[in-house]
């Protein structure tokens, strides 16, 4: 299984979008400061994830969510979560 996930920094409320094939391990890496992109923004909270059988589908979704339209979709989809 492959996952696209969205984390929210509890420090600055910013979002991080990522991809992994081991969600539990990856979240632990973010929480322990092992991921450069989120190291100074801990703690990070998992606010959304999607599972995919296809690695290609997961990577394409991650890429899309990082576009302007993808960010708009995230904000619509998680409107109440992000308040």
Residue 83 falls inside a structural domain: no
Mean pLDDT of the chain: 96
Residue 82, pLDDT above cutoff 90: no
The answer to whether residue 82 sits within a structural domain is no
* Assessment of whether the complete model's pTM goes beyond 0.85: yes
Residue 59 within any structural domain of the chain? yes
Number of alpha carbons in the 13 Å side-chain half-sphere of residue 1: 9
3-state secondary structure of 59: helix
CA 35 – CA 39 distance, rounded (Å): 6
Residue 14 in domain = yes
Domain encompassing residue 58: 2-77
pLDDT, tens digit, 9 for 90 and up, residues 36-65: 999 989 899 999 999 999 999 999 999 999
> Given the structure tokens 């632990």, which residue do they identify?
28
Q: How far apart are CA 6 and CA 2, in angstroms?
A: 14
Counting the structural domains of the chain, the total is 1
């Amino acid at each position: 299984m492959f996952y696209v996930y969205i984390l929210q920094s509890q420090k600055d409320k910013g979002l991080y979008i990522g991809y992994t094939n081991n969600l539990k391990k990856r979240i632990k890496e973010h929480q322990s400061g092992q991921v450069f992109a989120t190291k100074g923004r801990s703690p990070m909270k998992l606010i959304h994830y999607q599972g995919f059988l296809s690695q290609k589908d997961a990577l394409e979704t991650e890429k899309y969510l990082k576009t302007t339209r993808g960010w708009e979709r995230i904000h619509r989809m998680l409107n109440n979560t992000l308040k």
